[in-house]
Amino acid sequence: MEGKARNASTLFFSFACIFLSLSTATTTTTLSTSLQFQTLTLNPLPNRPAISWADTEPEIQTSMDPTASEASSSATSFLSVQLHHIDALSSDKSSQDLFNSRLARDAARVKSLISLAATAGGTNQTRARGPGFSSSVVSGLAQGSGEYFTRLGVGTPVKYVYMVLDTGSDIVWIQCAPCKKCYSQTDPVFDPTKSSSFANIPCVSPMCRRLDSPGCSTKKQICLYQVSYGDGSFTVGEYSTETLTFRGTRVDRVMLGCGHDNEGLFVGAAGLLGLGRGGLSFPSQMGRLFNRKFSYCLVDRSASSKPSSMVFGDSAISRTAQFTPMLSNPKVDTFYYVELLGISVGGTRVSGISPSLFKLDSTGNGGVIIDSGTSVTRLTRPAYVALRDAFRAGASNLKQGPEFSLFDTCFDLSGKTEVKVPTVVLHFRGADVSLPASNYLIPVDNSGSFCFAFAGTMSGLSIIGNIQQQGFRVVYDLAASRVGFAPRGCA
C-alpha cells in the first residue's frame, strides 16, 4: 500500500515537473517572440579610404551679404557635392588607433559640454529669412576627433579648407598666418594678407561688442577674440570679417576669428564653423539670408563613402521629418535642448526611464541636447542603467564579451555576419526616432567585438551623440523653434 502511495506521489511529482517545464518554456517563448528585433549586418572598423576631392573653383553663381536688406537677397541653386570621411587624410594610424583616439577625444568633449552647461551664458540670436545653399559633410573619425567636417572656401581668391561643424559652439574661426602657435592642419594655413575680402573689425564697432569678452589691440585699434574650450583647447586672434564660399555661393562679411595662437586637441581641420544657437554662430549671422533653418545628414562611419549634405535655407526642411519642440535654457543659449520622454527596447517602454530624468529645470540644470561633436550618447546614470539592463535582457541570445573603454555592455560576435538585436526607439515629444541597429551596436575592434553605444554620466545633462544621429537628416528649424529627424536622409 505504501509502495502504491509512493508510486502515485512520484507520478504526480513527475507530471508537475513536466507541467512547470512546459509552462516555463511557453512563457520564455512568449517573451522572446513579443520583443521586436531587427537585423544588424556586422562590419569591422572602417579602414582608411582613398580621397578624391577636387578643389577646382566652380563658377560663382551668386554672392550674398548677410548685412544687406532682405530685398537685395537673391535665391541660390541647390548644390550637392561628393563626400568622403576625413580619415582619408590620416596617413599612419590604424583603424583601431583611430577609434581609440576618437573615444579619448569624445570623453574630453563631453567634459567640456558639461562644464559649459554648468557655468556659461550667452546672447540671443537674430530673426530673418531668405534662400539657401548646401555644402558637404565628412566624418572626422580618421582624425580621431569624433566630429564631422565640411570643405569650404575662405577669402578672395578662394582657398579651400576643412572646417569642423559644431552645434555645440558659436564662434566661427580659422587658423591664420603668421602663427604664434598653430596646430598641424591638412591644408596650408590661411594668410589674410593675401585675401582682398578680409577686413579687421575696429574696437569701437558694434560687431566687436557682441563678443562675450572682447579685447582690443591698442596699437592697431582692432578687435580681438579668445575662445577657450573645456578640454583645455583655445584659440586667440583678431575678430574680423571674411567671405566664405560654399561650392559656388559666396557669403560676404561673415564675422570670424582669425586665430594666430591655437592650441589643444584640434586636429586636421583649419578651423571651426560654429552652428550653435548663440548670436555669433553661423546660422544666427546668416538668419536674414537663410530663414534660420539648416540641416545635416551625418554619414555612417562604417560606410566607405556615402553622399550627404549640409543645407541652409528652406530646402533644409525634410518632408519626412518628425519634429520635436526646441527648448531654451536660460543659462546657456548655445545648445539645442529637446524633450526626451522615454526609450523603448524591443518595442516596450523601459519602465525605469521617466521624463523627470531628462527634465531641464528653471535654473538651467539637467535636460537633453542634440550635439554633432559628441560621438557616444550620454544619458544621466539612472536612465542609462535602466536602458542597458533592458537591452542586455533582450540580447541574452548573444555571447557576452569583455568591457571596452567606456562601454560596459559588449558582445563577442566573431564568426558571424549578421545578428538579430532588439529595437531601440527614442521617444521625444512629438517624435519617435527608431534607430537602425548600426546606430547602437558598433564594432570596437577588428576581432568581432561589438558594444552597446550608449554610456552613463553622473551629470544631469544628457547628450544625443552623432553615432545615434547617423543616417538621419537632422533639421534645425530655429524659425519655428523645433528639431526634426528624417530617417534615411543621406540619399
- For the annotated catalytic residues, the residue numbers are 166, 371
In sequence order, the β-bridge partners of residue 261 are 181, 236
In sequence order, the β-bridge partners of residue 152 are 161
Q: Residue 89 contacts by C-beta under 8 Å, 6 or more apart in sequence?
A: 51, 142, 143, 162, 186, 268
- Say how many C-beta atoms besides its own lie within 10 A of residue 276's C-beta: 25
Q: Residue 475 contacts by C-beta under 8 Å, 6 or more apart in sequence?
A: 293, 294, 295, 316, 317, 318, 321, 323, 482, 483, 484, 485, 486
3-state secondary structure of 110: helix
CB 429 within 8 A of CB 384: no
The residue assigned the cell 572656401 is: 153
**Degrees, nearest 5: CA angle 14-16-19:** 110
Measured between alpha carbons, how far is residue 485 from residues 327, 354, 428, 453, 474 in Å? 16, 22, 10, 19, 5
CB 323 within 8 A of CB 477: yes
Per-residue cell: 388:
542597458
